[in-house]
Chains A and B, each alone.
Chain A
Amino acid sequence: MTKIVKHIFFSQDKLFVDFQKQFSFESNLNFGATFKSLYKALKLDYPKYFKMDSLSKLGFLAAEILLQDSKLRAMHRPEKIGIVIENSSSTILMDTKHQETLNNKEAYFPSPANFVYTLPNILTGEICIRHKIQGENVMFISSKFDAEMIATYVEKLFDDKKITACLAGYIEINEENYEAFLLLIENSFKDPINEKQLIDIYSKYKNRTNAWKN
């Protein structure tokens, strides 16, 4: 049995927590500048953040907000906290950057610091390091947010007693836009989470950001 404790949505310069708008940023900023404003607004001191690629930065910030004031670490053992993330474009921005260093055979200097970020699960790794999460972790690739996959899989992990808490959601960034939808799910006496619940929350956020845009 599980319950959704908290959820956040961050896209198109707006950040919502449990449907409440928490931050909005100037729309003329590039992604990097927006993420940096959020980092500053959160008053974080985590130098490693600046070494991350934009996908990891996005996931990192989303997890940071989701777990603000959370008792996650006090309530759950590290190996009982899971992280189940979906994404569509894998690490396309960093992939392109790494590929560019290979195009000139006269100046062939691929960067190890870039290459390591060409794996989408580095994002989950960064969140695990920050919040000491050691449980089940997986990176699914899906053309868009797939609530059925997340709901089925997360519920099974709870069912099997593999985890007692879980971060789950969709973290996507590509040339055109970014989107972070992240939920904190914990065991409880309530009914299990289901696909429909996730779709409802997600579409409410989507409608809201689309309304903002127009």
Chain B
Amino acid sequence: MEKLIQELKQEIIEALNLEDMEPDDIDESEQLFGNGLGLDSIDALELIVLLEKNYGIKIENPKDGKTIFYSVKTMAEYIQAHKK
């Protein structure tokens, strides 16, 4: 799980062009949207692509993204539960 979280942080930084951020700058329990990293709706769509591309997980309903992408930790948990 720890390894997955580290990997995810790196992938998120790259996919969302979070310039000048290091994986350690992201608190895995911190909220990704809203106040946290200040991500927006396009970032949410990009995270959906990331899950499908890197983990083969398809989110059919974008509205589910809200809970899945709450934090890096919730994302990692979702990946572990659904990874093929």
A interface residues with partner B (beta carbon < 8 Å) = 47, 49-51, 107, 109-113, 116
Minimum Cβ distance to chain A for residue B43 (Å):
7
Query: Smallest CB–CB gap between A145 and chain B, Å?
Result: 30
Q: Give Cα A113 to B49, complex, Å.
A: 10
Segment from B16-24, B25-33, B64-72 that makes contact with A: B16-24
Asked if B53 and A112 sit within 8 Å, CB to CB, the answer is no
Q: In this assembly, does B38 line the interface, its C-beta being within 8 Å of a C-beta of chain A?
A: yes
Q: Is residue B59 within 8 Å, beta carbon to beta carbon, of the partner chain?
A: no
Inter-subunit contact B52/A51 (CB<8 Å): no
Residues on the B chain within 8 Å of A113, using CB: 15-17, 42-43, 45-46
Kindly report which residue of chain A lies nearest to residue B19, judged by CB atoms.
A50
Residue of B nearest to A110 (CB): B49
| A-B residue pair count with CB separations less than 8 angstroms | 29
Contacts of A116 in B (CB 8 A): 42
Q: How far is the CA of A51 from the CA of B53 in the complex (A)?
A: 20
- Return chain A residues, CB-CB under 8 Å to B16: 51, 113
**Given A47-B19, A50-B17, A50-B19, are A109 and B45 neighbors across the interface (CB < 8 Å)?**
no
CA distance A113 to B42 in the complex (A): 6
Chain A: which residue is nearest B38 at the CB level?
A47
Chain A contacts of B43 at CB under 8 A?
113
Cα–Cα distance between A109 and B43 once the two chains are bound (Å) = 15
Interface flags for B42-80 (1: CB within 8 Å of A; 0: not) read 110110010011000000000000000000000000000
CB pair A47–B18 under 8 Å, yes or no, is yes
Apart from A51-B42, A112-B49, A113-B43, what are 18 other A-B pairs with CB-CB below 8 Å? A47-B18, A47-B19, A49-B19, A50-B18, A51-B16, A51-B17, A107-B53, A109-B49, A109-B53, A111-B46, A111-B49, A112-B42, A112-B46, A113-B16, A113-B17, A113-B45, A113-B46, A116-B42
Q: Give, as a whole number of angstroms, the nearest-CB distance from B38 to chain A.
A: 7
Contacts of A111 in B (CB 8 A): 46, 49
Cα of A50 to Cα of B16 in the assembled complex, Å? 9
The answer for the CA separation of A101 and B49 in the assembled complex, in Å, is: 12
